[in-house]
Structures are given as structure tokens and as C-alpha cells.
Homo-oligomer: A and B are copies of this chain.
């Protein structure tokens, strides 16, 4: 028997908040009939939006907050001044066991800082990482870290490999995900010291993941591995470069279809086929980056997304909770600690 589940939503984060958040919650309500919501934000603004759907109102508890973390706030400022913000109180609901996870489209740095402080990192994990899925030639892969840690040492990278492995198993359902370490070449001698050292540790075999080896940038979308591990600087640049390149292609193709009457007609005929490409690569479909390595489920939605994108981010939090991701990770990390995780990465 499936159980009911409660998710906390920060209603005030994101370019189109709070409308987008409430519309996204309404879409998620239909898709996930077992989910209830705790929604944090300006009650006067939220009430009329929520009341538009009686079913949503029935499954929602609103917590009024007047403080908001702004997108330009530094994480340190948000930590100090944002104690009563919608973001912070939504995270606290997870810490206090009132919600199984939190979803926010607000300031990434502030969300990470608050989530780290309130939820703390899992035993054996020094730093949390941001992970997300994206489309590849062979299906879907996940990459981490996408920007939480601009500098990472070999131990961090090995821990990300462990977290990514568990994430892909729990959420993508891949029994033995392959792990690739992003580098500038596939040979062992390639790369800087930390990536070489992480590669050596993972090759040794003490860490129980299926290590493929070093991969290069074009392996990301080729789907060469299920999980791509990298530092937050490189991961962030790679993710955004891929997004930019996708946009460039879409625009070039759109222009070309307008370039002649024949091409316009060709577009009309192939429109529904091209729509499938758009759907397959729709960034909203892959919206919802997960903060891995914390004692709680925290999902960051893209700030510029719409209701559909936000509903998908809620879906990620739902999937993780339903699959018992945290319990599995805790159990695995405890096992690893027994055989000496620190020994493996030291």
C-alpha cells in the first residue's frame, strides 16, 4: 500500500513566483494523487491562487511568511537575514520531519547554504553536490556536481561518484550504473592532479561503483556512461554550454524553415515530428536539480521555469521520496563506513 507524502514548497522563489509555483503544484496534484503540500509564502497572494482549485486547497496547508530571499542575495546574507523566509521555513519543515522534501525555484546559493545548515550532510560525505538528469543519445544520464563546489579534491569527486551511483539506482532504476569522470582525455595520464587521483581511487575497486574511466565532453550527450562526475565549476559550464548549444541549433533550424516557401511547407509537414524532438529535449522536462549528500530531499527548480517545469521538479522530489532514496543512501553509506569509506578515499 502506498502512503501519503508531504512536500514543502517555497512559493516565493523564481521569476514567475508565486503564480508559477501554485500552478505547478496544481499540475503535480493531478499527477501525484498521494502528495500533500505545505506551501510557504505571502498568504494574501497565495490564497486566491490556491483557491482556484478546490482539490489543491484541500491538499494544501499554507504557512504565511513575509520574508523573501532575493535572487541577488549572497548566501551568507540569506543565512543571517533569511531565518523567517519562505525558503528557510520550507527547508525547516523537512528538518523537522513535517515534509519529505522541499522544492524551491529561488536563489541557488542561498538554498544550498540553508539546506546544508538545516539538514546537514550525510555521514561520510564532506560536501553536497547538485545533480540533474538530461537527455542523451541512449536515454538519460545524470551529472554532478553542477555548481555547488567550484573547487573539488579527489575525495569529493569519489564521494560524488558514490552519491551519483545511488541516485541513478534509486531514481532511474539502473541496477549497476556506469560512472565516468569528466576529463580532457581518456588516458590515465590526462588531467589535473585531483581528477587523476580520483581516477586512481575509483580504478582500485575499493569503492563499489562501476567505474568506466575518464570521459570527455562529447561523451556527456553520447550517453557513454549513466553518471558523469565532475567538479562544480566544470559541471556548471558544461551544463550551460549544452543548453546554449541546444538553443543555437533550435534557432538556426527555426530560421532555416523560414528561409523559403518550400522550407515553410516542409516545416508544416514535419511539424509534429519536430515537436517530438522539442519535447524530448525540453529543458522543463529535465527541470529539478537535486542536492545530493544531505539528510533530506532538496530540489532546486530553474528560476526561469514555468508551471510545467516546476511540476517536474516536484516530481523529482516525489520520486526520491517514494523510492526511499534517503534510507537507501544511509544504509549504503553505513555499510561503506564499515568496510572503510575513508580508507578507500584516503
A residues engaging B (CB < 8 A)? 74, 135-137, 147, 150-151, 182, 184, 189, 191-192, 216-222, 230, 232-234, 236-253, 256-257, 259-260, 262-263, 265-274, 276-277, 280-281
Contact = CB atoms under 8 A, between A and B. Distances in A.
A218 B232 contact: no
Nearest to A182: B237
A144 B328 CA distance: 43
Nearest to A108: B185
A270 B269 CA distance: 10
21 contacts: A74-B189, A184-B233, A184-B237, A191-B233, A216-B237, A217-B241, A218-B240, A218-B241, A219-B244, A221-B244, A238-B241, A241-B242, A242-B242, A242-B244, A253-B277, A256-B273, A256-B276, A257-B270, A262-B270, A263-B269, A265-B266
Given A218-B247, A222-B247, A238-B238, 7 more contacts: A150-B191, A216-B240, A220-B244, A221-B248, A241-B242, A248-B281, A266-B273
A-B complex: 6 closest residue pairs judged by Cβ atoms: A217-B240, A266-B270, A266-B269, A218-B244, A263-B273, A217-B241
Nearest to A190: B150
A253 B270 CA distance: 10
Contacts of A243: 217-218
Interface of chain A: mostly helix, strand, loop or mixed: helix
A225 to B, nearest CB: 13
Contact of A236 (B217, B236, B260): B217
A80 B237 CA distance: 37
A135 B259 contact: no
Given A184-B147, A184-B150, A270-B257, A221 B247 contact: yes
A74 B188 CA distance: 11
Contact of A281 (B250, B252, B276): B252
Contacts of A236: 184, 216-217
Contacts of A269: 262-263, 265-266, 269
A274 B147 CA distance: 36
A256 B263 CA distance: 16
Nearest to A230: B237
A209 to B, nearest CB: 21
Contacts of A249: 245-246, 249-250, 277, 281
Contacts of A182: 237
